[in-house]
Structure 1
């Protein structure tokens, strides 16, 4: 770029700046005009601040804040895909939303015997599950054999059970009653954790 073009551009900018200063001097010297300009500046600043605070506001939390309690489901090798585990898991998830008790499940792999299910049951007891629901014959047998060793844990068996004081047997043939009973058990668990 040549010196001539550069000097023309700077002189054009100087002229524009001089016109702006002249306009501001004329308009600000008019009585009441300074207040109008000050008010306009304040309104624009408030609008910019409001827009900035709206744009950069923090998002509301999206996760649930659970109570310090956990209910666990022990299933057979099919997990939550077969009955009665599917119905029980659905009821536990719904109750978890209402009570804010965390829920999880663990499926027993391998032979479906009480002996094979016991290590899985012990995993849930060590994982601090306040309530363990057993769905499946081998899982129920493992609970019946071990419930008296863990009196601080509530056990629920679906379609079977035993005589221990901390074991409650539920029938999957009445899904409405099963859902309500599990919701109540999780609510009690949440109350004891609070």
Structure 2
């Protein structure tokens, strides 16, 4: 029985390694090479399709296409509260995201509360209020304006963080 399995495996390997008669080659791999920079979005339970997060995510994706920085998101599950959002925010901090963005009422509140204690991380929220220290507040605008502002902030942060 083992001899038959070895024979089948040998035939399969030979078939895979046999040159193609037409001279065709496989297309190049489409793997994307990223820089070390990472921007992470903390969103409400709607994820990146929610009203608050969608324009932020769009801007992050545009920035990633420009800079090759990694972008990701983490949606808060469970109660829509600042204390619950803090748990998810702590996960993004543990991931060592270079830039953490927040979209959603509880998520923005969690970032505002924790940012002063997390001085080595840069935070961005969309809302009202003023920027301070490592927290940048972008004013609420039409979705296209939010996306463009987020793109610019993420690109600038990537350029500051990534080695040249």
The TM tier, using the shorter chain, reads 0.7 to 0.9
CA contact (8 A) 2:40 2:71 kept: yes
Say what the alpha-carbon RMSD is for the aligned residues. Answer: 2.1
After TM superposition, the structure 1 = structure 2 runs for residues 7-86 of structure 1, keeping only pairs within 5 Å, are: 55-56=24-25, 59-86=27-54
Displacement of 1:163: 5.0
Task: Name the CA distance, whole Å, in 1 between partners of 2:128 and 2:101.
Answer: 11
Name the CA distance, whole Å, in 2 between partners of 1:72 and 1:164.
20
Give the number of equivalent residue pairs. 143
Shift, 1:82, TM fit: 1.6
Q: Which runs of 5+ in 2 are unaligned?
A: 1-19
Query: Could you tell me whether the CA contact under 8 Å between 1:85 and 1:135 is conserved in 2?
Result: yes
Deviation digits for residues 27-64 of structure 1, max 9, x if unmatched?
xxxxxxxxxxxxxxxxxxxxxxxx98x634x6333121
List alignment gaps of at least 5 residues for structure 1: 1-50
Q: Secondary structure at the match of 1:185?
A: helix
Q: Does 1:144 align with 2:89?
A: no
SS of residue matched to 1:55: coil
Which structure: greater helix fraction?
Answer: 1
TM-score, with length taken from structure 2: 0.77
2:141 matched residue in structure 1: 173
